[in-house]
Amino acid sequence: MIEHFAKKWFVNLLVRDFSGRELVNLLRPRSYVSLQTVLREAGISSQTPISITGVTTGEPASFSSETVSITFRHIKPSLYWGFQARRTLYGTYNVAEPEKALLDWFYLQRKRGAEPITEEFDFRKLDREKLLLYAPKYPRPVKFGLLESLAHTGAVLPSGESATLA
């Protein structure tokens, strides 16, 4: 009925509607749910993540039990924004806006030296104005990678012009 989750943390398996997200900000106070978890929920990605994915200004880490898995990736403090607090019956957690989650994903893919592959993404579900407003806050390779992906998919920008690299 009780499952050990992390050092000094246990999950009550009898609790209804527990998703594990309530643990995100308990494990890493300066964090938010982002990346694949948000992209899937927003309908941007068709891939279902194995664990709840998030970003933190703290140490990256993974926590898991038989019922819950949470993975944190590190971002620099200047990128800690673009999320909202969500309240559940069992607690509160932060969750990224879809546009922020996509930029976080590009940033972390580039940071680890991987080429971002976006063929599975449906960019039509994003607020392009917000995406282009947020993009300059990231390093140039992230901004240009995003524009390149938008251009390859034929995505239309708010002005009605196709995405192009200047």
DSSP for 25-51 reads HHH-SSEEE-HHHHHHHTTS--PPPSS
Cα 94 from chain centre: 11
Q: Which of 48-57, 59-68, 75-84 shows the lowest mean pLDDT across its residues?
A: 59-68
At residue 163, the pLDDT reads 44
- The answer to whether the CB of 72 falls within 8 A of the CB of 28 is yes
At residue 149, the pLDDT reads 85
The radius of gyration of the chain from alpha carbons, rounded to an integer in Å, stands at 17
With 50 as the cut, is the pLDDT of residue 161 above it?
A: no
With 90 as the cut, is the pLDDT of residue 2 above it?
A: no
Give the C-alpha separation, 104 to 54, whole Å: 10
Give the C-alpha separation, 54 to 72, whole Å: 5
At residue 66, the pLDDT reads 85
- The answer to whether the CB of 55 falls within 8 A of the CB of 37 is no
* Geometric angle at alpha carbon 83, from 80 and 86, rounded to 5°: 135
- Compare 67 and 71 and report the one with higher pLDDT: 71
